[in-house]
Structure formats: C-alpha cells, structure tokens
Amino acid sequence: MTSRSQELFARANRLIPGGVNSPVRAFGSVGGDPPFIHSGSGSRIVDVDGNEYLDFIGSWGPMILGHAHAEVLDALGEVMGRGTSFGAPTEGEVRLAELIVDAVPSVEMVRLVNSGTEATMSALRLARAATGRDRVVKFRGGYHGHADAFLVQAGSGAATLGQPSSPGVPAGTAADTLVAEFNDTDGIRELFAEMGDAIAAVIVEPVSGNMGCIAPLPGYLETLRSVCDEFGALLIFDEVMTGFRVAHGGAQAVYRVHPDLTTLGKVIGGGLPVGAYGGRRDVMEMVAPSGPMYQAGTLSGNPLAVSAGIATLAHLAEHPEVYDRLDELGRHLDRRMGALVERHPDRLTWTRVGAMGGLAFAPAPVHGWAQVAESDQELFGGFFRDLLAEGIMLPPSCFEALFWSAAHTEGDMDRFADAAERSLSKRVSS
C-alpha cells in the first residue's frame, strides 16, 4: 500500500527537482523516501500518515524552544492581524537588532536579511569593500550557503586556490576563494605567509556543523584572530548554526574570541526565514545607505520573521536557565554516547558543543574534513533507517549535526541512545 508521503514524493518529483526544495531532504544518502511532515509540537513531529517522530533535526537548528512554542505562536498571531509585509521600517526590526547586539559580544551594528546564505554573501562583500582585497579563506568541509564564492573545493595542496564544486560557478570566482584545513594551525599560518596581503577575510564556522560537529582545537580560533590582525584581514564567524544555540552569545562567547563580522540565522528567526550580519561599527557603517557597499532586500526584516525572532530571543534572554537545561541534556547524552563509543572505538566518535552534537562513523580523533571523509556511510545509512523505524528522526546525512531543544527530556535522550545501541549491536561486530 502506498503511503501518503510516497504519493506526495511522487507528485513532487514531477514538479520539483529531486522532489525536494533542499537536497539533503531527499534521503539520497540514506535510502528510502522522505516522510512529509504535517505538524510538530515540542520535541515531536508528525508526518502526513500520522507517524510520530522524536526530532533531532529541529529544522536544522532554529527550534531551540521546541516546535510550536506558545510564545512564538502568540507573537505570530498578533502580528498577522496587522499585516505581513510592508517594505518599510517597523519597530520590531529595532527590537530584534537590540536583542542581537545585547547578546553577541562582537556585534555593535547589525543588518537583517532573509537567510544564512544572504548573510554570508553580504558579509563577504563587506569584507572585500572594507579591505580593498578580493581573496577569502574558507575551510574544507565548512558550509556557508550556496553563493558562488562558497561552492568550491580544495585544489592539489592543503591550502590552494579553490576550484568550482558545482556547475555554474565561474572558475574565476572560485579562484578567489582559498581553501584551508580546519584546525590546521600550521597550514593557516603558511597560507597567510604566502598570500596574506591579498586576503580580505577568513570565514569559519567556529564550531563546524556541516561535517558532523567538530569543535576548534585549543588555540585555533586565537590563531585565526592573530593572523588576520597581522595581515589586515577581517575574521568572519559564521554563527548561522551556533549563534544562540551553543550559548546565548554564540560560540564567540564560549571561546572568548571576537570576530570582526558575524553571520547569524536559524534561532534568530524562531523557525521563520531570517538571517543577519553584524560586527564592528566602523565596518558596518560601510553598508548602504550609510556607506558605499550595496545590499538590499524587500523582505528583509519582515514583520513575521522579526516577531518570531523577538519572541525566541526575548525568552532566551529572560530565561538563561534554558541554556543550563540544554547543557544538562547534552551531558546526559555525553554519558550515554560515550559508553557506546567505548564499545566501538574504531567505528564511532561523539562530539558535542552546547546543544548540538555529532556522531561520526569514523575513529577518533576527528578534527577536520580529512577524518570525516572516511566515515562509513553505509553503516550510517543502516543506522539512520533503524532509528527512523523506531520513530526517531535524525539528519539524513552523516555529515550533519544533531540538534535538541529545551522541550526534549532525559527520557528522549535515553530513547535515542537505546535505539543507537540496538542498531550498532546489530550492525557492528564488537
């Protein structure tokens, strides 16, 4: 019998490339057809066939308070009664900007946009405008959206001129992106010694969330700050994923390293599409209409996204215990997953920072893409399907981080860990 999700996926494939509007949703790396989601509440989501799942995707990070949080829904309802978009300034934009500036240590001014991709591409343009240079450094395995400058892969060396990783990306555009290895201190120093005078910026996820979850090694972010200062480049922290998730002030508050520019998204929209870039006042004042660097958007700061963001960030500011709760859940999961890794040390690695974690199907240590690339994707595919059959929804890729919310419980963490243990005992010989 064909399920409702299967029917919808078949219809979608006739109308939408691959049947989905973002590639990883297609379940291409795990097999099977994706369930189509109907609703969510707290830590659970329900598909169109009525199947309930314990959710560790959380819309890829923004649902830090859980699905359909009452304060967020109330805020949306109140705004919808007044109108959904004006293309003109609203008071809510100012309030959301205040909440961001108050929380994120390095941000003195902020510009709202519509997505994380818009935020990163705008921050890159601003860095080039501020320095008068063209080249930027990103890290292999790091993801900063789908703008041309970011869709590059490493060349023949550890840190080389980028090459396009997608058709449609001009070779000249990719060549201005230098690709280095995350957590390789010597490599980044060598790159700057060779090309530092041409580098406008380094963009980095301070905690990588797109090759699992990888924390910076001690001193690594400090090294990035140091070489940028030495050569006059800007340091950009892509905190689209980590901002307001690993801590109220983001990863920069955890590691006490302040970038020149920060990009944000996910949590600051409370589940609605929004992004932002911000940083030093002298740099941000180069953005039009204050300065010559042009960037605009009709729906930037739209009332719906802003109201959901205000409700979420205000709740987090007024209830700092949320972060204690999220970390408590994380420590509980650390104990359970740590025990599992001890039984399978050659196949698994668990990493966590705040309320995001990653189970890499590769032996420790995992410090960058070179180790993550060795992940046993076949094992992960079976693991994913086993947990899905038990009603647990994980990101359908072994290169993505897991997220949990304040609505999750210790029982939810135990349910995940128990299912993981059953799957691995079946699929991995001890």
Active-site residue, from 266, 277, 323, 412: 266
Active-site residue, from 238, 260, 323, 412: 238
Q: What is the 3-state secondary structure (H, E, C) of the chain?
A: CCCHHHHHHHHHHHHCHHHCCCHHHHCCCCCCCCCCEEEEEECEEEECCCCEEEECCHHHCCCCCCECCHHHHHHHHHHHCCCCCCCCCCHHHHHHHHHHHHHCCCCCEEEEECCHHHHHHHHHHHHHHHHCCCEEEEECCCCCCCCHHHCEECCCCCCEECEECCCCCCHHHHHCEEEECCCCHHHHHHHHHHHHHHEEEEEECCCECCCCCECCCCCHHHHHHHHHHHHCCEEEEECCCCECCCECCCHHHHHCCCCCEEEECHHHHCCCCCEEEEECHHHHCCECCCCCECCCCCCCCCHHHHHHHHHHHHHHHHCCHHHHHHHHHHHHHHHHHHHHHHHCCCCCEEEEECCEEEEECCCCCCCCHHHHCCCCHHHHHHHHHHHHHCCEECCCCCCCCEECCCCCCHHHHHHHHHHHHHHHHHHCCC
Catalytic annotation present for 148? no
Active-site residue, from 47, 55, 143, 184: 143
Catalytic annotation present for 197? no
What is the rounded CA–CA span in Å between residue 269 and residue 145?
17
Catalytic annotation present for 238? yes
Please list the active-site residues. 143, 238, 266
